Structure 1
C-alpha cells in the first residue's frame, strides 16, 4: 500500500538556545518510559510526588514522541498565526469575557499587564476533541487529524499515568483522578498554540520586563512542550525567581489550582511568570505548544478527605468545603476575569481577586 500523504506545512525555525548564564531552576527530570505499567508507576511515585510537593514543576522525557514528531507539531502550531488572514482571525476570535471560554483566537493587546501595558500574545485554543465542539480556520483544517492524535497522546499517554501516580502518592485508588478527566467527558481541556511577540523598550520599562505576572494555573495539570526561548520563570521554595531551562523534546509539567484544591494542598500549584527573554534572544518570537488540563466540569474542588495521607498530614484549604466551586465555575470565573478585571493591591508584590469565593493572587 502507498504511504499516506503528509500535508505540507512550512517549517517553523525557532530562535537559537540562549548562551547567557542564567540562574536555572533545578527541576527534576522524570523518565516516563515505564509509566505505562503499574510497576513503573510505583517506581516513579516517590520521585514525581516529591517534585509536585516542592517545586510543583518537573520535566518529563521519553514520553512517546520523537523529536521529529514534536517538531511537526510546532510547525502546525505556527499555522494559525502565519497562514490565517486577519478577517478570518476575527471570525474565530473567542468571546473570553462573555463565555469564560478560550476556544478560538485570543488576540494581542486584550489583557492589561501592568501600568497600562497590554500583552503581545496571540493564542489559538482548541477543545481537546478538536472537531467535536468547534470549527476551525481553513488553513488549519488539513491538520486537524494530527492535532486530535496529539491531544489524545497528551491525555492518554502522559496525563493518565501522571494522574495515576498522583493518586498513588495520596494512597488513593489509581483511577481516582483519571475518573475526573475522561477524554470524552464534559470539560474544557485545551490544546493551545501560543505566540509571544517582542515588545517596545518603553513597554518593557513600564512593566518591569514582565510579560505575564506571577500566577498559578486554573486546572489540574499543565503540559508545556519545551521550546528554546527562555522566558518562563518559577518562584522557587526559597522565594527567588529562577528560569526554566530548555531541554530538547521534553515536557515541562506543573500542577494547577484545581489539583491543589483536590489534594488539600499536598500538591502545590506553583507560582510562575513569563519574563522578557535574555538579551541574545530578544527580537525573536516565542512559539509555544501547551496542553491545559481541566477536570470534568461537575467536579467539586474540595479535598479528597478519604486520602490516608491527608488524614495523617492534614489539609490546607483556600476555601471552605461547603463553598467550594465546581471546576466549571472556577474555570469560567478565572478565564473571564484574567487581564480584564480590576485587582486589589495587597502589598508591593501581591494583587488579589476573588473567584467564586476563592482568593486568587497575582505576583507583580
Structure 2
C-alpha cells in the first residue's frame, strides 16, 4: 500500500528565532499528529540550498563508483564507521546495501577527513567541502525541527532546548547508502531484497532519497506502507531516544527498504543524517509529560546503555524497550 506522508512546510513557522507566536499554529498541529501517528513526515521549504543537495548527490554517486579495492581501504574496525560492503540475507531478507558512514566525533574523531584520506590519499578537497557543508546544514535543520517538536509537545523551548542535554551532548553524522539497479539476468527472477527492518536509535533522522522509492514504514496496525518520494523534500523520522524523552507521546516507527528486482531498474541513493546524543547523555522525560493520564513509561537511561541494548537485542526491538518500566 502506497502512502503520502504528512507534509510539513517549515516556511509557515516564520522567524526561526521567535517561536512563542506559534501556539495554535495549524502546521504545528499537523506536526504533532504526524509525530503521534506515523513518526514520519516530509519537510518542504526547509532552507537547504537545492544546489548543495544536488552536489551531495553527485559526490556520493562518484564515491560509490570508485573501484571496490579503493573503497575497502576505508573499512574501519570501529562499528558503523567508514565503508560497509553490501550483504545478502537468506531469500533477500535482511539484506544491507553498500554504505559509507561518517560517524560523530565521540565514535570516530574527524571521521570525514579520515575516510577521505583513505579513499583519496592525494586529496579530494571538493568532496570534503561539499560533505562538510551538507553536514552543517543538516545539523542546523535538525536543531530547528527538534525545537518545533518540543513546542508541539507544549514544552518551553527556551528551557529544554537550551538545557545541557540538547546543547552540549548532541552530535550528528551522515551515512550514504547505495542500491545498484537491476541487472538483466535478474529481471526474470524478480529478485527483491529487503533491508533489515529497524527503528533508529537516536533523536531524529533526516533522509534525502532520490526518486526511485523503496522506503517502507510499519504502521501502528502492523501494516507496511510505501513512502512515495516527494521532490525538494526530506523525509524525517523520530528515533527511540525521542520516543523515550517524549514519554511515548511520540513514536519511533519501524522501517525498511525494499529494492532490486523489476521494481528497481535504476540505482537508488539515499543519504541519512542522524541527529543523536553522545553516549554519556542521560535520557529522562520532562516532568510536564508525566501525568496520571500519561504515567512514566521508561526508566532514566544513558544513551551509551541504550546503544549496548540495541546491539544485544537486535535493531527491530531497538535499545529502548529494555528500559520500559
> What's the TM-score, normalizing by structure 1?
0.73
User: 3-state SS of the aligned residue for 1:88?
Assistant: helix
Higher helix share: 2
Report the Cα distance in structure 2 between the residues aligned to 1:357 and 1:26, rounded to whole angstroms: 29
1:155 aligns with 2:139: yes
Quickly say closer, same or farther: Cα 1:359–1:243, change in 2 above 3 A.
Answer: farther
CA 249–102 in structure 1, closer or farther in 2 if over 3 Å, else same: same
Counterpart in 1 of 2:322? 358
Which residue, 46, 62, 83 being the options, matches 1:105? Answer: 83
Q: 1:311 aligns with which of 284, 291, 298?
A: 291
Q: Deviations over 1:30-70 (max 9, x none)?
A: 11124424157543432211110011111100011343332
Aligned residue runs from structure 1 range 1-364, under 5 A: 23-35=1-13, 36=16, 37-38=18-19, 41-42=22-23, 43=25, 44-83=27-66, 85-95=67-77, 99=78, 101-109=79-87, 113-114=89-90, 119-127=95-103, 132-133=110-111, 135=114, 136=116, 137-138=119-120, 140-156=124-140, 158-175=141-158, 176-177=160-161, 179=163, 180-182=165-167, 185=168, 189-198=172-181, 209-276=192-259, 279=262, 281-304=263-286, 306-307=287-288, 309-311=289-291, 313-315=293-295, 317=297, 319=298, 321=299, 324-331=300-307, 333-334=309-310, 355=319, 358=322
Write the distance in 2 (CA, Å) between the matches of 1:168 and 1:132.
33
- TM superposition shift of 1:292: 1.2
SS in 1 for 2:291: helix
CA displacement at 1:122 relative to structure 2: 1.1
List alignment gaps of at least 5 residues for structure 1. 1-22, 340-350
* CA displacement 1:316-336 (0-9 Å, x = unmatched): 63x5x1xx4321332355358
- Partners of 2:150 and 2:233 lie apart in 1 by 23
| Maintained 8 Å contact 2:169/2:281 | no
Quick one: distance in 2 between partners of 1:220 and 1:203? 39
The 3 A distance-change label for structure 1 pair 27 and 118 is: closer
8 Å contact from structure 1 (residues 59, 250) kept in 2: yes
Structure 2 CA distance, aligned partners of 1:131 and 1:141? 19
2-structure distance, mates of 1:357, 1:62: 35
The alpha carbon displacement at 1:93 in A equals 1.0
TM-aligned CA deviation for residue 313 of structure 1 = 3.5
Task: Decide whether the 8 Å contact of 1:294 with 1:327 is kept in 2.
Answer: no
User: Structure 1 residues 64, 86: CA separation in 2 closer, same or farther (over 3 Å shift)?
Assistant: same
Is there any run of 5+ residues in structure 2 with no aligned partner, and where?
Answer: none
CA distance in 1, matches of 2:171, 2:188: 36
